[in-house]
Amino acid sequence: MSASARPIYLDYNATTPLDQRVLDSMMPWLTGNFGNAASRTHLYGWEAAEAVATARQQVARILGATEKEIVFTSGATESNNLALKGAFEALGASRKHIITVATEHKAVLDTCQHLEAFGAEVTYLLPDSDGLICPEQVQDALRPDTLLVSVMYANNEIGVIQPIIEIGSLCRKAGVLFHTDATQAVGKVPIDVQHAAIDLLSLSAHKLYGPKGVGALYVRKGISLTAQLDGGRHERGLRSGTLNVPGIVGLGVACALAQKELAKESTRLTELRNTLENNLINSLLNTQINGHRTQRLPQTTNISFGGLDGEELLMSLHRLAVSNGSACTSASVEPSFVLKALGLPDDLAHASIRFSLGRFTTSEDIDLAIGHILEVVSRIRNGA
């Protein structure tokens, strides 16, 4: 299929294309500079270790952390597993209670369910109809045996940004660990782990124009975790395995680029998203935006098109690459559990589309998308 015939990509929350600048930074480490960063007796290993150290600094910088607090992983799913399982195995003998949110990514929810089989007691907070929880819900759920609170920084389906700073403060005062899956937030909104009192933070490179298969876990100094992979005691004993040097270099550069361009890109994407929303909401009856209208990511919108069959709508939007939920649950025929948690009925949840814009989205893309969506929705509603 020619480039001009390919659908307009509006599914950046599922994954982002690799930025050419990131690829360029990775290429030397895929060819001539192939050393193992754990090889400390020759030049090849020294070069690789230095590249990893630079990337660690770049990742730390975008989070307001120190490089010694960054643990490289294969991605946010592994980071979430290491954070939750690692904390439970290290400290769960005396504290077995975990608090999370019903709209978390499956990488957190499934991990919590796994821990329940090993004695954990998990409280799943329900958000309001706008997708937000309030700090008081966390406060009320805290118990003397609460080990950890895990709240997603920004939701992958509706883009809402939770009150992370307030929740972090509550947890710090209560002496409870605070973990956030910030996969969708890193590089899109400013993050400061110190100011927000975050103890553990998960991220993934492929959500910010880096390569797939690499991510990181921020572990605040002094936090004890039990490693989930044994063999070699890499990454300060928290994550064994030969380091993916090209991927780590790419993650570091992706973080540096995102941090440099964050403010300008946030303004640009907010304007494009608002143009998309306003045109659709003002032109189509029985159409609504799901989630909080202001406390959300700049590039994400989730819109319900009432009175339509969701599968027919999604398949008819052949000029667009969009989704009806998380990429990790897209094989399911069930309506989005996130939208259901907000109180949407099945028919409306089924007829909802997530549009997520990104670095390479243009105003022309948005204009073409608007025209295509209006034409398709009108045609389906008119029975044509």
Q: How far is CA 320 from CA 161, 277, 281, 381, 382, in A?
A: 26, 15, 18, 19, 21
Please give the radius of gyration of the chain, using alpha carbons only, rounded to the nearest integer: 21
Q: In the structure encoding, which two tokens stand for residue 109, read together?
A: 């929810």
Q: What's the rounded Cα separation, in Å, for the pair 334 and 329?
A: 9
Whether residue 328 lies in the annotated active site: yes
Q: In the structure encoding, which two tokens stand for residue 270, read together?
A: 């907010």
As beta bridge partners, residue 216 has 72, 203
Q: How far is CA 164 from CA 100, 225, 237, 255, in A?
A: 13, 22, 29, 21
117 φ/ψ angles, rounded to the nearest 5 degrees: -70, -15
Q: What's the rounded Cα separation, in Å, for the pair 144 and 174?
A: 9
CA atoms within 13 A on the CB side of 366: 24
Positions marked active-site: 328
